[in-house]
Chain A
Amino acid sequence: AQSVTQPDIHITVSEGASLELRCNYSYGATPYLFWYVQSPGQGLQLLLKYFSGDTLVQGIKGFEAEFKRSQSSFNLRKPSVHWSDAAEYFCAVGAGGGGFKTIFGAGTRLFVKA
């Protein structure tokens, strides 16, 4: 069965500092992997996705993520965080082969301090 683990419930970084949010997944085949961001009171917005090919994927707002099959990880990174990046971040794994179920991690809340 699919599952996603985000080990950090919340993270605080200083504005301008680098960021890495951790995500580990469990899936029997090659997974479809996603990062979504949720600002307070808003719906979820897709940051980036990985289906195949280059294991380093670029997304919106300067985010990137790296797929590491050997570690079953898909960590999200940003070189320099802005105050507007404060939000809840969700890693998700989608079923392949025409499956429709996307499973989300518990989320990591990012706080940005000035």
Chain B
Amino acid sequence: DTAVSQTPKYLVTQMGNDKSIKCEQNLGHDTMYWYKQDSKKFLKIMFSYNNKELIINETVPNRFSPKSPDKAHLNLHINSLELGDSAVYFCASSSQGISGANVLTFGAGSRLTVL
């Protein structure tokens, strides 16, 4: 049973379209994240939700809108797609242990290609 699952795994679309990526975790974690991995493999945090509350919102165009309907789900909607949005988007979740640290569990990624 997959701990963090993302759909779709692959997404090919035209510039200007709107698309969504969905993420679900069954680990009982309180916090979920979206990371973007570019073509050079660089990973950059985009958003994070803790108990459905937005706690991290990096410098991301407002064409990107995350939504967390409950603790187990975090979706990413992207409006007016641009060529530069092509990347692999990773969902992750974490739960702070006694140490106070967040250990991330990642999904398999969603590869978005904008033509």
Q: How far is the CB of A2 from chain B (nearest CB, A)?
A: 11
How many residues on B have C-beta within 8 angstroms of the other chain's C-beta atoms?
27
Name, among B42, B94, B104, B108, the residue most crowded by chain A CB atoms within 10 Å (CB to CB). B104
Classify the secondary structure of B's interface with A.
strand
0 or 1 for each of B103-115: is its CB under 8 Å from A? (1 = yes): 1111111000000
Q: Contact: B103 with A46, CB < 8 Å?
A: yes
* Among A11-19, A54-62, A88-96, the stretch in contact with B: A88-96
0 or 1 for each of B44-78: is its CB under 8 Å from A? (1 = yes): 11001010000110000000000000000000000
Q: Contacts A101-B45, A106-B42 known; A32 to B101 CB distance under 8 Å?
A: yes
Tell me the complex Cα distance, A56–B56, Å.
32
Q: Is the C-beta of A45 less than 8 angstroms from some C-beta in chain B?
A: yes
Q: Contacts A42-B108, A43-B90 known; A102 to B102 CB distance under 8 Å?
A: yes
Q: How many Cβ-Cβ contacts under 8 Å join chain A to chain B?
A: 65
Tell me the complex Cα distance, A42–B37, Å.
12
Tell me the complex Cα distance, A56–B15, Å.
49
Q: Contact: A49 with B101, CB < 8 Å?
A: yes
Q: Contact: B100 with A52, CB < 8 Å?
A: no
Q: How far is the CB of A50 from chain B (nearest CB, A)?
A: 9
Q: Contact: A100 with B109, CB < 8 Å?
A: no
Contacts of B96 in A (CB 8 A): 98
Q: How far is the CB of B59 from chain A (nearest CB, A)?
A: 13
Contacts of B101 in A (CB 8 A): 32, 49, 51, 94, 96
List chain A positions with a Cβ less than 8 A from chain B.
32, 34, 36, 38, 41-46, 49, 51-52, 88, 90, 94, 96-104, 106-107, 109
